[in-house]
A and B are shown apart, each in its own frame.
Chain A
Amino acid sequence: MKKLDISKLDVLALMSYDACTRCGECTSTCPTGGEAQDVELVTPRGKILRLREFYKRQYGLKARLFGPKEIPEEQLKELSSRAYECTICGQCKTVCPAHLDTIEMWENMREFLVANGLAPLPAHEQIVKSIENYDNPWMQPRTQRSRWSKRIEREVKVKDALKDKCEVLFFVGCTAAYDPNIKDMAIDTARVLAKAKVDFGTLGNEEGCCGSTMMRTGLFESTRGMVQKNIERFEKASASVIVTSCSGCYKTIRQDYPKVGKVNARVLHITQHVNELIDEGKLVLDKKVEGKVTYHDPCHLGRHNGLYDEPRKILKAIEGLDIVEMERNRDEARCCGAGGGVKTAFPDLTQKISIIRVEDAEKTGADILATSCPFCYQSLKAAVETKGSKLRMMDLMELVRMACSDGH
C-alpha cells in the first residue's frame, strides 16, 4: 500500500488544512476553478478538503486505531493534475476569512506531490529539462541570452556586471531575454535606466534562470543549485541593487532566495526603482503620451508582494495619460492565467482566463492595457489578438521610455 509522506507538508500548511472553514469564499473568485471551469476540485476549498481527506485516511485517529487506508492511484493523480490547474495567483488568500496563506499552501502542496511521485506533470518535465540543460525554460542556447542587448548597443552601454563594477544589476530574466515578442521589455528597461544615467549592468550570458518556474511547480529542492549559483554571481557582481523587470524573478529573488542563501543587495522591481529615480529627479518624464490606460496588476507583484501603488504612481507621472481602473484591481485583480505552470500544461485554460481579463480591460473603455510582467504581457497580448480586441498591450517601461525625451 502506498502511504503518503506528509513530512513534506509544512506544519503551518497542515494547520491550515484543518483551519479551512469550508465557507467557499475562495471558490467564486478562483480564476481557474471557479470562473473559468467551475470545477470544485480545482478551487482552493476543493483541494484542501480532498488532500485533508486523503492524509487523514492514513494518519488520523481512525487510521491509528484500525490501520491506514489505501487511496486509489487514480484519485491521487486526479488531485495532482487538478492542483496544477491553479495559477497560484493568491486571490484565495485575499478573500479567505480564516487568513490562510494559500500561496504558501499551494506551492507546498506541489512540493508534497513531487515528493510523493505524483508530480510534476509531463508538460512541466520538459521545462525542467530545458532549465537543467540550457539554464532557461525556452530551450534556447546560453550564448543567446544577452542577444537582446545587441539592438541597443550603440545607444545604451550595458555593462557586464561580472567584469565591470556597477551600482545596479539588471536581472533580465529568461522570458524577456529569449522571447522575441517580449525582448522589448528588456530593451525598454535598459533604455529607461540609461536615460536616468544609472550605472547598471547585467550578468550577460552568465545569468541563470531564477528558478521561479521550477519553484512554482513544486521543485524547490531541485532549484537549490541554480539559486546558489545565481547568488554567487550576485556576490561577484557586488552591485548594491538588483533590479528585475519580471515580477516572477522579483518574487523569487526577494522571497525564495533567502531560503537558500543571503542576497547582499536590495532587490527591487523595476517599478520601484523607476519610482525612486523619478522622486530623486534622476528620471524626468517630460514627454506627453496620449492615451487612456488601464493597469493589470501581476499577481507576483501585487498579491504576492503588495506592490500596487508603484506602477500607478509611474502612470500618474506620465503626462497625457488618462488612467482608468478595471472593476477588479489591486488585491482583487483577476489573474492573467499564465502563472503557476498553467500556461505550459493547460494553455487553453490560460487563454480562457486571459480573455476574461481582457474583457475587464475593455469594459473600462481604455485603449491601452499596461502591465509590468512578461508572463502577464504574453498571455494578455495573446488574448487581445485572439479576441480581436482594440486594446494595445504595453509594458509599463515602454510607456516610461516614450515619456522620456530623447535628449534627457
Chain B
Amino acid sequence: MSQGRYLKDKAWLYLPFFGAIILVSAIILLLPYGTVYVQDRMYLFFFLATIVLCVALFFIGTLYNVLIWMQGKGLSGTPERRLMRVMMKSLRFVLSKRFAKVTAVFVKDALYLSKLKDRSTLRWLMHLLILGGFILTFALDLIVTFAMDLVNYEPMIVESGWAKIWIRDFGFEVGGLMMLLGLIIAAVRRFVLPPKIVRTELPDAVSILFLLGVVLGGFILEGIGIAGSIPGHTVNQEYSFVGYAFSLVTPSSWDQYYDQAWLIHGVMSALFIAYIPFSKLFHMIATPIAIEAERMLPSGVMPSEEARHL
C-alpha cells in the first residue's frame, strides 16, 4: 500500500468524521438554552465546553475501537478504507427489506435481552431497568431540546404546560427512577451480596458508581430546585415525584448551591459519555453491533468472497 493511497483512505474517513463532530459541537454551542435555570452563565459555558469535549472524546474513542475491529481477518485494505466500506454496506443493509426482520430480532436479543431473561430474572430486570431508563432519558432529552430550544413549543416551556408536566417532569422522573432502581440492584449484587460469578475490578466498580452518581445527582438537583422554588420547579412539583421526595429532606437554603449542583451533574453526565468507549460500558455499543453483524454475516469467518465485495 503506497503512502498516498493510505492518506487518501484516511482522508475519506476522517474528514466526514471530524466534520460530524464539529457539526454536533456547533449545534450544542448554538442552542439558546433559554430555560436553563443557572444564574451564572459562566457555569453554562463551562458545561458546554465540557460536553463538546466529551462528545468529541466519545466519538474518537468509539472510532478507534472500531478501527481495531477493522484490522481483523476477513476484510481487505487499510482499516480506514474497510470501515468506510462496512459503513456503506451497513447503510445499504439498513435500507434493504431484510432490515425490518433483523430489527425485530435485534429488539428481542439486544434490547429486550430475551436470553438473559431465561437465565436470571433479577439480572434481566436490572439490565432492562438501566438500559430502558437510559434510552428513555436520552430520547426525552432530544425531544425536550428540540421542543424548547428549536421550536419554542410553549407547553414544554411554561410551568403548567402539559408537556412540561408529563415529559420534562414525569417522563424524566420515570427514566431516572428506572436507572436508579437498576443501579441499586447492580450495586447490591456487586458490593453487598455478590454471587460467585461476579468479579469486581476497578472498571466494574467505577462504571456502576459513576452512573449512580449521575442519576442520584439529577434527583438531588431536582430536590434542591423544588425546595428552593427555583424557576421551573414552582408548580406541579409532585409530577417530579422522586425529586419531590428529595426536596422534602433538602433545606430551602441550599438553593444558593443550585448552580454548582447543576454544573456537577452536567459535567458528570458529560464525563460519563466520554467514559463509555474507554470502559466496559462500550458493550452498550459493541454488543448490538456484534449481534447485528452476526446476522448480516451468518458464518463466523467472513468468506473471502464476501470480503472482496466489501
Contact = CB atoms under 8 A, between A and B. Distances in A.
A95 B71 CA distance: 28
B19 interface: no
Given A6-B71, A11-B73, A101-B300, A28 B291 contact: no
A101 B300 CA distance: 8
Given A24-B199, A27-B197, A98 B72 contact: no
A12 interface: yes
A18 B119 contact: no
Nearest to A96: B115
A7 B82 CA distance: 13
Interface string B246-289: 00000000000000000000000000000000101011001101
B290 A108 contact: no
Contact of B74 (A10, A24, A100): A10
B297 interface: yes
Contacts of A82: none
A40 B71 CA distance: 28
User: 7 closest pairs, A vs B, by CB?
Assistant: A104-B300, A24-B197, A18-B286, A97-B116, A11-B72, A19-B290, A19-B287
A20 B282 CA distance: 9
Interface string A200-234: 00000000000000000000000000000000000
Contact of B69 (A15, A95, A101): A15
A37 to B, nearest CB: 14
B61 interface: yes
A131 to B, nearest CB: 22
Interface of B is mostly: helix
Nearest to A111: B73
A259 interface: yes
Interface in A1-37: 6-16, 18-25, 27-28
A56 interface: yes
B286 to A, nearest CB: 4
Interface of B: 60-61, 64-65, 68-75, 109, 113, 115-116, 119-120, 123, 196-199, 204, 278, 280, 282-283, 286-287, 289-291, 293-294, 297, 299-303
A23 to B, nearest CB: 7
A61 interface: yes
A117 interface: no
A55 interface: yes
Contact of B119 (A6, A40, A61, A97): A97
Interface of A is mostly: helix
A19 B283 CA distance: 5
A16 B290 contact: yes
A373 B60 CA distance: 50
B68 A25 contact: no
B198 A10 contact: no
Interface of A: 6-16, 18-25, 27-28, 40, 45, 55-56, 59-61, 64, 95-101, 103-104, 108, 259
A341 B249 CA distance: 63
A9 B198 contact: no
Contact of A10 (B61, B116, B301): B301
Contact of A18 (B60, B65, B75, B300): B65
A21 B280 contact: yes
A330 to B, nearest CB: 14
A14 B70 CA distance: 8
Nearest to A64: B64
Contacts of A108: 73, 300-301
A65 to B, nearest CB: 10
Contacts of A16: 286, 290
Contacts of B65: 18, 60-61
Contact of A61 (B64, B199, B293, B299): B64
B72 A21 contact: no
Contacts of B289: 15, 19
Contact of B290 (A12, A45, A56, A97): A12
A12 B68 contact: no
A45 B280 CA distance: 12
B70 to A, nearest CB: 7
Contacts of A23: 123, 197
